Structure 1
Amino acid sequence: MQATAEILGKKILVEWSASADKAMSVLASPMLVEMELYFSCLIRKAVRFGQDAPSPYSVTVTPRLKLGFRPVVTKACKVSDVEDEPPVEDFKLTKPEAFVPKKLFLDFKRGQWVGEFYM
């Protein structure tokens, strides 16, 4: 399955597997999928699933799927000081539209949501 969404004037192709489509069909409310672009010592991409993620740029893709884009920056760069997920804050980009991903793929495997986005 697929749909096209637009964030900050940029089109994003959103594709999802049959198992993801089946899992979305039973959701009571739309699931927000957040594409997080993490700036720190290195740049990292993450796809986060939930209903209340704090994406500053979000759109509705289907009645059961919302899509968000969130650039963040870590509060510290020393990776050895942080276990698990380091604390982050929203990163105010001068031109955030330049960083909006072009494609997102979603799947539902072994009871877990998984996703990958492409720049």
Structure 2
Amino acid sequence: MAGAGIMSGRAVSPARSAEWRVTLSPAARRALDARAAPLYVEMELFFSCLIRKRLLWDRPPPADTVPLPSADGHPQLVVWFHPVMARHCALPNDAALEDLPLMDFPLSRREAFRPHWLRLDYRDGAFCGEFGW
């Protein structure tokens, strides 16, 4: 997936909103400043035989999605948490994940699973990052 990756190195520009924190590298902040449209960031938590997490880029959120507050106040950042599950247990390779039929995973205590932080960077012309608890 283009633009996906793990961010490492020093983090800057932290901002907090309750238990939610976004950290932007200087390169990510410059890239966001240069955008004409918002950057949509989906934090997907995938439940199947195993649990996997990943960031998905520039897919507008579904109409009923409630974005997390842009804790750093950047107007070009829209982030939301999306727990999903496979319709059946499968361990496909990464290429097959794009076509795997997924459905929303109903969590009775969504806040217990919602990530507490997101770190974004911009490298080689693409956003990358990681999230966690």
Q: TM-score, normalised by structure 1?
A: 0.85
Please state whether the residue corresponding to 1:71 is helix, strand or coil: strand
Deviation per residue, 1:42-66 (Å, 9 max, x gap): 1111111115133833134121111
Identity score, percent: 36
List alignment gaps of at least 5 residues for structure 1: none
Question: What's the counterpart of residue 78 of structure 1?
Answer: 90
Rate the CA distance shift 1:39–1:57 in 2: closer, same or farther, 3 A: farther
Report if the CA contact (8 A) 2:28-2:121 is conserved: yes
Structure having the larger proportion of residues in strand: 1
State whether structure 2 residue 71 is matched by structure 1 residue 59.
Answer: no
Count of equivalent residues: 115
Question: What stretches of structure 2 of length at least 5 have no aligned partner?
Answer: 1-12
Q: Which residues of 2 match residues 85-104 of structure 1 at below 5 A?
A: 85=97, 86-104=100-118
**Alignment CA distance shift 1:74-1:64 (3 Å):** same
CA deviation vs aligned residue, 1:83-119 (integer Å, no higher than 9, x gap): 5212211111111110011111001111111110012
The residue aligned with 1:11 is 19
Query: Which residue of 52, 58, 78 maps to 1:50?
Result: 58
Alpha-carbon shift at residue 16 of structure 1 (Å) = 1.1
SS in structure 2 opposite 1:28? Answer: coil
Matched residue, 2:9:
none
Question: 2:118, 2:129 within 8 Å by CA — same for their partners in 1?
Answer: yes
